[in-house]
Amino acid sequence: MKQTSNTFLDNAHVALQDADKAQRRDIMALFTPLVRNAAMESFGHFEALRAHVKQVKQHSLEHLDHYLARFEQEALHNGNHVHFAADGEQMNSIVLEICQQHSARHVAKGKSMVTEETGLNDYLKRAGIRVMETDLGEYIIQQAGETPSHIVGPALHKSAAEVRDLFLAKHDLGDRELAETSDMVREAREVLREHFLKAEVGIIGANALIAENGYSMLVTNEGNGDLCANLPNVLIVCTTIDRVLPRAEDATATLRLLVRSATGQAQTCYTSFYSGPRREQDIDGPLETHIVLLDNRRSEILASDYKEMLQCIRCGACLNHCPIYAGVGGHAYGWVYPGPMGSILTPLLTSLEQSNALPNACTTCGRCAEVCPADIPLPDLLRDLRHEESERKLSPARWRLGLQLHAWLACHPRLYRALTGLGIFILYLLGRRKGSFKHLPLAAGWTSERDFPAPAGKTFMQQYAAQQRADKTREHKQATPVKRAPKPGRVSGRGTPVGRGSSGRTSAGRTSAGRIEPSMGEGWQHEAGPASPGTIRDSGKISGGSKDSGGKAAAKKPKAHPGGPRGKKPRRRKDHD
């Protein structure tokens, strides 16, 4: 797949001009979060299960060599052939060699983002092998000569009318209407059935690899994966090394989060576990099974500070909640993986030089991190990539100069507030009548698409400071003693009104000068504050924090490290030419 990530801004500009597709993306951005939220609310254990899945994924990655060796051992015991591919070129050559060994001319292929990453379809096509995508979304975009716009719904950018016209043009089935969506689905099934029966080789992906038994797990909603796996005589499973998990129960726990995050379902229509080739007692299944495990720089990512990205389970939730993705769509990102996860994976799997615009395609709203079922700190990773981009001077010089100037001003708060206050006041004076600006110097990127609203007369900090002063004045007035004139009456020789004690204090707490003294009623003591945060032990119990000699909880403030934006040294990784 040709990469165009370095022209992200131009791609986004083109995408914004298509009003119909923009409207569909807006609808998707409203609909998919609602479906996902409803699924999580009915489930009720999202946070607990997310913490468990994160722990499992971290453990698997930390001991990846052990679990890969265990998976290979069990898979071989089940009768599979296991291959390791260092990069996409090697994976494609392995698959081609298997196809040529069996003189295959037709391949039925299930949905796989890994094969999109390596460009397998074009590779096999150049060798004279016909590859037919059998997932409906993948089939649609294959017929249209396009690439996926979403990792879960590849053809979400296509309207029903576009699909209808495409089928009428591509399927030579005579005159027909295809008025309903069900008619188009039925026709696709009829066309694809022929390819399922012709295929000598089936290619599928895997959502998880289980080390303890050598099985692979595949999740689909259409059943095409099972047809690709069972009808052809040869099955090839193409996946990556980071998909391995220790146990079957870890795979099912991941499944519960994956499905709800991806489509809002409690369970997919088809969840299949493949052990290996057909056994003597089996009535169907492939005669030969190959599992190709792709690295493609994932070992480098694992050794870097970006290793948390390998926890991704490819649910697409971050895409569905990202305002940038909703605005420009998946094709603007220029490679296989779009959205927040793609803005991190693309620079890591290709190079930051080819895709330095993607880490900047972020509003830092944090919605992606909130909904990520693997609890990946996506905004932090994007910020670290921007930090690396700045250090390597990949961004334009004027952009770096502007950021340096802003950083210098931020280190001088008084000057910063004075300059921003002056600028906002000038904009307020110029725009208070119309309320907005159609054109503004140094803001053409904004005003070319929308009006720039005129600011209020004062900055936030000025308004905040004024509010603070007003609050202090009110508190001071409330605390000031109220002087009351003494009631007229007989006065004793020492100036004390008759009827008061010589001390000048009454039972109500009023002094001889009329001042009201505060009285302490019952329950005036403040309740004790919260205990110091505890630590979770292996047993699941929470133990209290450490205490100093005085019995108070000791709290150490972490020291900031000057090296990186997250208190770490800047992330380093090796780039290939």
Inter-CA distances, 372 with 258, 319, 384, 424, 566, Å = 10, 10, 18, 38, 19
Concatenate the DSSP letters of all residues of 43-107 into one string: H--HHHHHHHHHHHHHHHHHTHHHHHHHHHHHHHHTT-EEEEESSHHHHHHHHHHHHHHTT--EE
For residue 173, give the DSSP letter. Answer: -
In this structure, are residues 350 and 3 in contact, taking their beta carbons and an 8 Å threshold?
Answer: yes
- Type of residue numbered 11: N
Domains of the chain: 45-296 (3.40.50.10420), 399-453 (no CATH)
**What value, to the nearest 5°, has the Cα angle with vertex 80 and ends 76 and 86?**
85
Q: Could you tell me the two tokens for 367?
A: 């919605």
Polymer length of the chain: 577
Closest Cα partner for 188 from 140, 131, 155?
140
In this structure, are residues 326 and 29 in contact, taking their beta carbons and an 8 Å threshold?
Answer: yes
Rounded CA separation 509/172 (Å): 100
In this structure, are residues 186 and 96 in contact, taking their beta carbons and an 8 Å threshold?
Answer: no
What's the pLDDT at 480? 77
Q: Could you tell me the two tokens for 406?
A: 């802003």
Inter-CA distances, 75 with 209, 212, 231, 239, 568, Å = 10, 9, 21, 14, 40
Q: Which helix (H) or strand (E) holds 133?
A: strand 130-133
What's the pLDDT at 432? 80
Rounded CA separation 33/37 (Å): 6
Q: Could you tell me the two tokens for 121?
A: 């379809």
Rounded CA separation 509/519 (Å): 7
Rounded CA separation 355/30 (Å): 28
What's the pLDDT at 509? 43
CB atoms within 10 A of CB 422: 11
What sign for the dihedral angle of Cα 486, 488, 490, 493? Answer: positive
**What value, to the nearest 5°, has the Cα angle with vertex 215 and ends 210 and 221?**
100
What's the pLDDT at 487? 61
Rounded CA separation 155/149 (Å): 6
What's the pLDDT at 500? 44
pLDDT by residue, tens only, the chain of 577 residues: 789 999 999 999 999 999 999 999 999 999 999 999 999 999 988 999 999 999 999 999 999 999 999 999 999 999 999 999 999 999 999 999 999 999 999 999 999 999 999 999 999 999 999 999 999 999 999 999 999 999 999 999 999 999 999 999 999 999 999 999 999 999 999 999 999 999 999 999 999 999 999 999 999 999 999 999 999 999 999 999 999 999 999 999 999 999 999 999 998 999 999 999 999 889 899 999 999 999 999 999 999 999 999 999 999 999 999 999 999 999 999 999 999 999 999 999 999 999 999 999 999 999 999 999 999 999 999 999 999 999 999 988 888 888 889 999 999 999 998 898 888 888 888 888 788 888 888 788 778 778 888 888 888 888 888 999 999 998 888 887 766 666 665 544 444 444 444 444 444 444 444 444 444 344 434 333 344 334 333 333 334 444 444 444 444 444 444 444 454 545 555 554 4
User: Tokens 């934006």 belong to which residue?
Assistant: 565
Closest Cα partner for 462 from 431, 507, 417?
417
DSSP E strands: which ranges in 313-443? 436-437
Beta bridge partners of 436: 453
**What value, to the nearest 5°, has the Cα angle with vertex 204 and ends 321 and 60?**
65
What's the pLDDT at 11? 96
The model's pTM: 0.79
Beta bridge partners of 217: 208, 273
Buried/exposed 505-536: b ≥16 CB within 10 Å, e otherwise: eeeeeeebeeeeeeeeeeeeeeeeeeeeeeee
CB atoms within 10 A of CB 304: 15
What's the pLDDT at 574? 52
